[in-house]
């Protein structure tokens, strides 16, 4: 049996961000405020990864600055998405596509 080299898990960024490759500008046009226990946050991130949509993730559990910005955007529940400057206060695929593609 051939030996496989151990796979290394991707390192987490110090800025608590995650993005997928996308054509276009280097800046993410989608930002998402999340928590690890939130299934809707996971759904949103999986959707964006599957559709190769670049996004920047802000973990409310790991960053005080993310929490402050979340609150300043009127955040009360998660996920909160900022899409092309428009705030979406929950994950709704149809609403996301309308703003993202519109």
* Predicted confidence (pLDDT) per residue in 69-101, tens digit: 999 999 999 999 999 999 999 999 999 999 999
Q: Which of 23, 35, 20, 40 is nearest to 91 (CA)?
A: 40
Question: What would the pLDDT profile of 8-42 be if each residue is shown by its tens digit?
Answer: 433 343 344 444 433 334 456 999 999 999 999 99
Please give the domain boundaries of the chain with CATH numbers for all domains.
Answer: 30-101 (3.40.30.10)
pTM: 0.74
pLDDT at 27: 56
């Amino acid at each position: 049996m051939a030996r496989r080299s151990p796979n290394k898990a991707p390192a987490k960024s110090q800025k608590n961000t995650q993005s997928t490759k996308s054509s276009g500008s280097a800046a993410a046009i989608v930002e998402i405020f999340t928590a690890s226990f939130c299934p809707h946050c996971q759904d949103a991130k999986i959707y964006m990864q599957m559709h190769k949509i670049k996004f920047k993730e802000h973990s409310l559990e790991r960053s005080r600055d993310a929490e402050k910005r979340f609150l300043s955007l009127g955040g009360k529940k998660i996920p909160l998405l900022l899409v092309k400057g428009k705030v979406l206060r929950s994950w709704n695929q149809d609403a996301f596509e309308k703003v993202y593609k519109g």
